[in-house]
Structure 1
Amino acid sequence: MRLSDVTLREGDQLPGREFTADQKLTCARALDDLGLDYVQAGFPATGETDQRVLSELAGTTDAEVIGLARALDRDVDAVLDTDADVVELFVSVSDRHLDRLLGKTREEMHEMLAGAVEHVHDRGGTAHVTLADAFRTPAEDVLAVEEAIPEVEYLTLADTVGARTPRSVREYLDTLGEAVDLGRVGVHFHDDLDCATANVLAAADAGVGKADVSVAGLGERAGNSPLESVVVAAGVDATVDFGVDESALIPTCRQVLETLGEEWDDRRAVLGETVSEHESAIHTTAMLSDPATMEAYDPERFGGERRLVFGASTGTSGARKLLDRAGVEVTDDAVAAYTEALADHGPLGLDGALDLARATVGRE
């Protein structure tokens, strides 16, 4: 499965956001260095900022640069005039969206989309298509679109309102897979039910060829499938290799968020400071010998850092292990004195706890 990062376009649609061109360029290059296949850097029809971003990125990245466009010739031209690698056309496909958002019949939508794809190809471009609200659309209606534009490289199915779970995603994709090659199908999930990461993994297991992701899930409402969670979950479960630089994942995602002025919670999966921090006496004592006792993965694999915290909650077993690691004699008196010192001076990281062990025993 190939990954397409949509942070810079989806994140910019959040209320109160207006990322600058320089912010987007810095982030796009960081994501490119991470090894992503595609970076959807903007929606050029919306103005000069995204036009500049795509123009400056074009031809300078290993990732293919995608510009978003409605199925309108002027939107297509706005993307192609930047020399972006891919035009990502989007169009409504469910009855509700056709009626309430697009205001067109299904036949009019087919004609509109086919014309836009043809315009992309006439100008020598590459077209991808995203079908909005696809997962709430009968499979036969999606297949009708696929049959009308067989020359499109990827047809992405969007769970636009985040209404699907791994079970329903897999059932839907299995149905489509009876008629189409899922290797040229993409998926785009929203996290309204907190299933966006699991839904990407379900799609990968079904054989889907591409998935949209965003750093920390930045995107409308509850956001999209988080890049970092998708990569780590797939890596830990050994389900799929996305070809990204795992050792740079956490630093790159944090860098992108800092550049965009976005905050993240300390308890956020993968990125949060506390997800690889341990203070419980039982946990830390075991982890001094074997960190995997209380970890799903070594955070250093993905560029993170483990932090063991010692203080008042550290028991005698943990104190004995720390004293031993500090290279000092472990006696009952030393353990008692050290346990009291930890309560007085903690919480401390591992290095600080070892220094305190040496200092405490040295005073005895």
Structure 2
Amino acid sequence: MILSDVTLREGDQMPGRNYSIEQKVTAGKKLDELGLAFIQPGFPITGEKDRTVIRRLASTTDAQIIALARAVEDDIEAAAVAEADVAEVFIPISDLQLEYSLQKPRNEVLRLAREAIDLATDHGLVPHLTLIDAFRTEPEHLSEVAIRFSDVGFVTLADTVGARTPISVRDLLSTLQEDVALSKIGVHFHDDMGVATANALAAHEVGVGKADVSVASLGERAGNSALEEVVTSGVVEHDVSFGVTKDKLIPTCRSVLDILEETDAAGSRKAILGSEVTEHESGIHTAAMLHEPSVFEPFNPHVFGGRRELLFGRGTGASGASTLLSRANIEPTEQRVGRFLELLTDKGPMNEEEALALARSSMEE
């Protein structure tokens, strides 16, 4: 499975956001350093800003740059003017969406999609097709579309309102596998029920070829499958990074959030990116982790460009204090351990380097 990053487009659609051209271009170039297969920066029909962003990124990135487009001639023309690599045409597919969003029958929508895709091809764009609300659509309708549009790069199934969980994702994709090659299927999940990352991983396990992701889940409502969570979980569970450069993951995602002024999206407790998720202060934890960090962590943050921090203070126990004294080349007698614990309680919390410095200075007194 390869990844398509939608941070710049989905994030810019959130209420109150209006990323500048420079923000989107700078963040897009930073994302490109990760080795992503695709980056979707915007929706060119909406204005010159997104057309400029797409044009500038398409000429400077290794990733294929995707322009989002409705099945409308003007949208395809805008994607071509923006010099995108890919035109991703989206259409409603569920009965709900067809009746209430577009008020057109399915056959008419598919006809419009074919015209848009043919026009994109005529302009030298690689066409993709995204099906809105696909995971609330009967499998036979999805199979029909995938077969009918087997000439496009990917047919992406969107869980547009975040209504599905891993078991139903697996069930639907497994059913489709009887008729279509999942390697040509993409997925796009929203996190309304908190399982967008889990859904993307479930799709990978079944065999889909592409998944949309965004940094720190930036996107409409609860956001999308988190880039950093999908990659880290893929490495831990399946030893696969989906083409992403692992050791750049955490610093690049944090840099993108800084560029977009979305640092709050990472939060101190956010999985992978949060400032506190690789900090440890519990005495039981730190005492063991001084010898073997994996005792109390699911992955080595250094693999993904992050770092762990052991903190010592009021909660530090005798075992941890003794180990720190030994590392400071000080014999950990009972008296010294007791005095050191008092100092840690008084001056902590502090990291290991600071604790070792404290040990050396206090034991020399």
Which band: TM-score by shorter chain?
A: over 0.9
The answer to whether the 8 Å contact 2:156/2:188 transfers is yes
Q: Residue 267 of structure 1 aligns with which residue?
A: 269
How far apart are the structure 2 equivalents of 1:330 and 1:150? Answer: 70
Cα distance, 1:24 vs structure 2: 0.2
In the TM superposition, what are the counterparts of 1:164-183 in structure 2 within 5 Å? 164-183=164-183
Cα distance, 1:241 vs structure 2: 3.2
Cα distance, 1:239 vs structure 2: 5.0
Match of 1:359 among 345, 361, 364: 361
Match of 2:327 among 322, 325, 328: 325
Tell me if 1:66 matches 2:66.
Answer: yes
How far apart are the structure 2 equivalents of 1:106 and 1:317? Answer: 68
Q: Residue 211 of structure 2 aligns with which residue?
A: 211
Tell me if 1:311 matches 2:301.
Answer: no
Q: Match for 1:341: what amino acid? A: L
Cα distance, 1:59 vs structure 2: 2.7
How far apart are the structure 2 equivalents of 1:207 and 1:146? Answer: 15
How far apart are the structure 1 equivalents of 2:319 and 2:105? Answer: 71
The answer to whether the 8 Å contact 2:128/2:155 transfers is yes
Q: Residue 55 of structure 2 aligns with which residue?
A: 55
Q: Deviations over 1:82-134 (max 9, x none)?
A: 21100000010001001111121111111111111111112222100000000
The answer to whether the 8 Å contact 2:147/2:180 transfers is no
The answer to whether the 8 Å contact 2:232/2:241 transfers is no
Tell me if 1:11 matches 2:11.
Answer: yes
Q: Residue 301 of structure 1 aligns with which residue?
A: 303
Please, which runs of 5 or more residues in structure 1 have no aligned partner? none
Q: Residue 235 of structure 1 aligns with which residue?
A: 235
**Secondary structure, aligned partner of 1:265:** coil
The answer to whether the 8 Å contact 1:204/1:240 transfers is no
Q: Match for 1:83: what amino acid? A: E
How far apart are the structure 2 equivalents of 1:239 and 1:139? Answer: 31
Q: Match for 2:335: what amino acid? A: D
Q: Residue 46 of structure 2 aligns with which residue?
A: 46
How far apart are the structure 2 equivalents of 1:146 and 1:343? Answer: 63
In the TM superposition, what are the counterparts of 1:1-364 in structure 2 within 5 Å? 1-238=1-238, 240-262=240-262, 263=264, 264-363=266-365
Cα distance, 1:270 vs structure 2: 0.1
**Secondary structure, aligned partner of 2:162:** coil
**Secondary structure, aligned partner of 2:277:** helix
How far apart are the structure 1 equivalents of 2:231 and 2:224? Answer: 14
The answer to whether the 8 Å contact 1:205/1:239 transfers is no
**Secondary structure, aligned partner of 1:231:** helix
**Secondary structure, aligned partner of 2:312:** coil
How far apart are the structure 2 equivalents of 1:211 and 1:173? Answer: 13
Q: Deviations over 1:171-195 (max 9, x none)?
A: 0000000000000000000001111
How far apart are the structure 1 equivalents of 2:205 and 2:118? Answer: 32
Aligned CA-pair RMSD: 0.8
How far apart are the structure 1 equivalents of 2:279 and 2:139? Answer: 45
**Secondary structure, aligned partner of 2:75:** helix
**Secondary structure, aligned partner of 2:4:** strand
After the TM superposition, which of the residue ranges 234-243 and 24-33 deviates more from structure 2? Answer: 234-243
**Secondary structure, aligned partner of 2:26:** helix
Length-normalised TM-score, structure 2: 0.98
How far apart are the structure 2 equivalents of 1:6 and 1:175? Answer: 27
Runs of 4+ displaced beyond 3 Å: none
Q: Match for 1:107: what amino acid? A: N
**Secondary structure, aligned partner of 1:266:** coil
Q: Deviations over 1:133-178 (max 9, x none)?
A: 0000001111222232221110000000001111000000000000
Q: Match for 1:41: what amino acid? A: P
**Secondary structure, aligned partner of 2:271:** coil
Q: Match for 1:267: what amino acid? A: R
After the TM superposition, which of the residue ranges 25-34 and 230-239 deviates more from structure 2? Answer: 230-239
The answer to whether the 8 Å contact 1:110/1:148 transfers is no
The answer to whether the 8 Å contact 1:157/1:187 transfers is yes
How far apart are the structure 2 equivalents of 1:125 and 1:67? Answer: 10
**Secondary structure, aligned partner of 2:216:** helix
The number of aligned residues is 363
Q: Match for 1:296: what amino acid? A: P
The answer to whether the 8 Å contact 2:92/2:131 transfers is yes
The answer to whether the 8 Å contact 1:158/1:187 transfers is yes
Cα distance, 1:359 vs structure 2: 1.2
Cα distance, 1:261 vs structure 2: 0.7
The answer to whether the 8 Å contact 1:114/1:148 transfers is no
Percent of pairs identical after alignment?
A: 52
